[in-house]
Amino acid sequence: MILNATTHDPHFLADPSAPPPSAASSAYGMLSQAELRVVFREAMEDVVLPGLELCGIHTGEARRWFQTLTDRWR
């Protein structure tokens, strides 16, 4: 599935030891892992999946994948 390939690894945004971005990186817009999760979740729920459905694409498998992915973040 294409969406699965976008995450690149099974620990996508789920690494509890991920360091926060440095102050310099933050100044250039680097987001923390928690902030990236929010952006990714909102984009998937509000843009990507509804957009696919609007085009007549069934998203059942994509929604199951997304739920499995985000369950790892807890």
**Domain limits of the chain?**
1-7+32-74
- The yes-or-no verdict on residue 7 having pLDDT over 70 is yes
Per-residue b/e over 25-45, b at no fewer than 16 CB within 10 Å?
eeeeeeeebeeebeebeeebe
Give pLDDT tens digits for 9-51.
Answer: 767 888 878 888 899 999 999 998 889 999 999 999 999 999 9
Confidence of residue 58 (pLDDT cuts 50, 70, 90): very high
Average pLDDT for 45-68: 95
Helices (H), 13-57: 23-27, 33-43, 49-54
pLDDT for position 1: 66
